[in-house]
Structure 1
Amino acid sequence: MELASLPNGLELYTESPTEAEYLYKEMYEHGCYDSISLPDDPFVLDVGANIGMFSLYTKQRYPKARIMAFEPIPVTRGILERNIALHGLTDIQVEGHALGAETEADVVFTHYPRLPGNSTRYPEQKQLQIDVCLRLYPDDDTIEQHQGYEVTVPVDRLSRRLPADTRVDLLKVDVEGAEYEVLLGIDPEDWARIDRIILEVQDLDGRLDRINGFLAGKGYRTETMPSPMVEEEILTFLVTAVREGL
């Protein structure tokens, strides 16, 4: 772990300064999460919080925001908590569970120290990304970047973690292949209190259409755009969903 300095002077602890700068450019320069406006004091779920870049970005835009940040990988969660303390952030609750369709006690995830934001329950789904990067950037150390180790984490359903009677202004999901499962972990009665959703989705096996159709069936209007910093061949998109009537 080291303290990375980013182009705007922002400092964050990270295992990978290269990835931290990538996240910075994604949010601060490309504005990939700027398409949704929130109330002045939003309640936000940061599912796949990683080192806390999105939570910090949200608190800078909405200082009164209350955030639940879900990060299951132990080493990454420790860095997340350290970044929260570094910036004196308040009203952020860190949760150590991964989220999925069912409650499970011991689930194997793969953590990539050089690409911690890519850590995943489904490492086999990284093969397309590896193949594209090897072809486009043969001089990069792509194989080494995707060398990881296994960790065992608990998985819970989102509805079991939601505070009672709290409206969710934004549900952000970036969980490397488990997005649909996160949505399946929401009880029917809880959908009515989730106003906005933004997900990163890799379109493998028709996943993008499945998620868009699922959200439309729950009463959301959706928009899809390519993820701005991912190679087109990797098939990664941002899906924004807003409840009809907002």
Structure 2
Amino acid sequence: MSRITLAARRVRQTLVDFDNGTAVLTAIARHKPELVFEVDDDLTVICPNVAGARVPVYEVFAEDAYRLDWFTGDLPADVSAVDIGGHIGCFSMAFARLHPQGRVQTFEASPTTYGFLSRNITGNGFAERVTVNNTAVSSKVGTLQFADNAGGSGLNGITAPAGSTVIEIPCTTVAAAFAQAGDRVDVVKIDTEGAEYDIVLGSEPADWAGVQRVVMEYHPVDGHSWEELEEFFAKAGLTVVRQEPLTPRLGTVWLSRTALPL
């Protein structure tokens, strides 16, 4: 998709899918440091006015990128999710709103992005059901070197480009993250800009035994391929029920322990 086509689509989505679309477009044009998207009367999303940071707002609330109703609508009312790569909270808020009795344990590595995540969760009244952690999920418990480009950047992460600001952050494992979420984890979402290989392949298939559904983005990382993740999840009893590739090495995939209608 060309940049012009994408820009036109974003303008249309802003006006159609957000109650204050005109104000958002004006704030973008005037380079305001923050944007406030009014999804509806019950939900607002505070976002850095950075192109990459805005993407999840559109993906979740204008495009239904995670297909949450289809993917999680049949799960128990008290469904439990772990959001790895919580960013500013779009997935966690959409999930919590769809499942009023559900709960989410959210992990966001970037301290700057975590600030927006915390504000959004608290400001929209989800703090009792969505627990936010300024912690990376990794293959180890301890600390790791992390590129934090601020502004909710999609370039944050352990695979960020050269010249990024690198900081030390706390990290935990999949097993520890699941334990922190409680007795049961039904759904896991992963979007970590390439760190998914370290996160998933650094865990054990047995760690995922109770997980019913996984939705994740996979990214091009030297030395790795989506097939590695697919093989790992097959060992964990989770198979692909939907896949939307953008390129041979980049896309979104949905996995389930049981068959789902398309």
Matched, 1:238 2:252: yes
Q: Which amino acid aligns with 1:238?
A: T
**Corresponding residue for residue 59 of structure 1:** 96
**Residue 156 of structure 1: aligned partner:** 172
Q: Secondary structure at the match of 2:94?
A: helix
CA contact (8 A) 2:206 2:236 kept: no
- Any conservation in 2 of the 1:15–1:113 contact (CA below 8 Å)? no
Residue 49 (structure 2) aligns with: 16
Which residue in 2 is equivalent to 1:182?
199
2:139 aligned with 1:101, yes or no?
Answer: yes
Partner of 1:196: 213
Q: Please give the TM-score of this superposition, normalised by the length of structure 1.
A: 0.78
Q: Please provide the CA RMSD for this pair.
A: 2.6
Counterpart check, 1:171 vs 2:188:
yes
The letter of the residue matching 2:140 is E
CA contact (8 A) 2:241 2:259 kept: no
CA apart distance, 1:17: 5.2
| Count of aligned pairs between the two proteins | 220
Match of 1:36 in 2: 71
How much does 1:44 deviate? Answer: 0.4
Q: Are 2:255 and 1:218 aligned? A: no
**Is the counterpart of residue 78 in structure 1 residue 126 in structure 2?**
no
Distance 1:235 1:52 in 2: 25
List gaps (5 residues or longer) in structure 1: 128-146
| Aligned-partner residue type, residue 197 of structure 1 | V
The answer for the alignment partner of 1:138 in structure 2 is none
**Structure 1: how far apart are the matches of 2:51 and 2:247?**
21
Contact in 2 for aligned 1:157/1:186 (Cα 8 Å): yes
Q: Residue 5 in 1 paired to residue 37 in 2?
A: yes
Deviations 1:140-162, CA, capped at 9 Å, x for gaps: xxxxxxx7422211221121232
Length-normalised TM-score, structure 2:
0.74
Per the alignment, residue 48 of structure 1 pairs with 85
After the TM superposition, which of the residue ranges 35-44 and 55-64 deviates more from structure 2? Answer: 35-44
Name which of 8, 22, 26 aligns with 2:59. Answer: 26
Change (3 A) 1:94 1:217: same
Q: Contact 1:40–1:64 at 8 Å: present in 2 too?
A: yes
The alignment status of 1:68 with 2:101, answered yes or no, reads no
**Structure 1 residues 74 and 43, CA gap change in structure 2 (3 angstroms):** same
Q: Which has the higher contact order (CA 8 A, sep 6+)?
A: 1
